[in-house]
A and B are shown apart, each in its own frame.
Chain A
């Protein structure tokens, strides 16, 4: 990785916009680009798929944005017109990955185009830069109009909706207890989202204490005994009592299956949020 000067991004399609980036992030998934788990990188690629900024130019067919708007840019690029987009499955957009054929060879199917995430997901320039081009800018970008600061909203691009999707997929009902394996930012947003969908208790297990240190406290509304328990005791208690859901974040499917076997009940639901197929 190194910092280089490159040309400014330009409008290439009529529904493009360009943004001057004000905040960006490094995702755990970026590590897969460095370690080769995700292939088809080229020297000179710009990484980064979580970013926000100010619109500096728009294509002739972008009607809902104007120069100067602050936007958060979601990491999947979505056309808004294909069957997947009409079904609101934007990460499965059928048109936004110009290199879909490469992705099909590598993975059996193609994802949507993704900013700064190899050439098999499109070869798009990423957001760890001063500026970026946003294809289909009339569909993806979230306009920030209520005075939120850059520290408050950039995770709308990836980790918050990812964690929320995990909680949403659990079909949480009142009284359920959730265990979250993996206590990075996605896991923390999964916990927050589980609370938002009426989960009275949850357990977070951090495989790496350094990352999990900030979530050792039970959430408000958690089981009373949990308030006095440490993380390990809390986890054990919840598993022995009434755990009926389990939510694995950023672990391998094999790990998820192994953890599932540890649960005391047979009717739990495991949701695995993981990059790539096993």
Chain B
């Protein structure tokens, strides 16, 4: 719940869920817990992440 509120605040104040290399899916809480290494994701991961985020929040 707290993480949901944190992401809601991000959307309200910045317009997007903030994503890092460790959790490019952004709003996916389960995936968020299982961080990937903090290095650029492969293209397909990045594209899927962007698509997933926009369908959920925009």
Q: Would A7 and B38 be within 8 Å (CB), given that A42-B22, A94-B9, A133-B21 are in contact?
A: no
**Interface assignment of A140: CB less than 8 Å from any CB of chain B:** no
- Tell me if B21 and A124 are in contact (CB < 8 A): yes
Dominant SS among interface residues on chain A: loop
* Interfacial chain B residues near A97, Cβ < 8 Å: 18
Binary contact track A105-130/B, C-beta < 8 Å → 1, others 0: 00000000100100100111110000
Residues of A within 8 Å of B56, CB to CB, are none
Interface residues on A, range: 35 or more
Q: How far is the CB of B8 from chain A (nearest CB, A)?
A: 11
Question: Given the known A-B contacts A98-B26, A126-B38, are A14 and B15 also in contact in the complex, defined by CB atoms under 8 Å?
Answer: yes
A180 within 8 A of B: no
Q: Would you call A9 an interface residue if the criterion is a C-beta within 8 Å of the partner chain's C-beta atoms?
A: yes
B33 to chain A, nearest CB (A): 9
Chain A proximity mask over B39-58: 1 for CB below 8 Å, otherwise 0: 11111001001100000000
- Choose among A8, A46, A82, A123 the residue with the greatest number of B CB atoms under 10 Å from its CB: A123
Chain A residues, Cβ within 8 Å of B22: 42, 45, 98-99, 119, 122-124
Known: A9-B40, A123-B38, A124-B38. A79 touches B13 (CB 8 A): yes
Q: Which residues of A contact B43 (CB under 8 A)?
A: 7, 10
Q: Are B2 and A43 in contact (CB under 8 A)?
A: no
A15–B13 CA distance with the chains assembled, in angstroms: 13
A99 cross-chain contacts in B, Cβ below 8 A:
20, 22-23, 32, 35
A84 to B56, CA, bound (A): 27
CB distance from A40 to the nearest CB of B (A): 8
Interchain CB contact (< 8 A) of A125 among B18, B21, B32, B42: B21
Q: Which residues on B sit within 8 Å (CB–CB) of A96?
A: 18
* B49, A45: Cβ atoms closer than 8 Å: no
Q: Does the CB pair B18–A113 fall under 8 Å?
A: yes
Which has the most chain B C-beta neighbours within 10 Å: A6, A45, A98? A98
B binding-site residues for A, Cβ under 8 Å: 2-3, 6, 9-10, 13-24, 26, 32, 35-43, 46, 49-50
Interface pairs (29), CB distance under 8 Å:
A7-B40, A7-B42, A7-B43, A10-B43, A12-B19, A14-B15, A42-B37, A44-B37, A44-B38, A46-B38, A46-B39, A61-B15, A79-B18, A81-B13, A82-B13, A97-B18, A99-B22, A99-B23, A101-B3, A113-B18, A116-B38, A119-B22, A119-B38, A123-B20, A125-B21, A125-B38, A126-B38, A133-B40, A135-B19
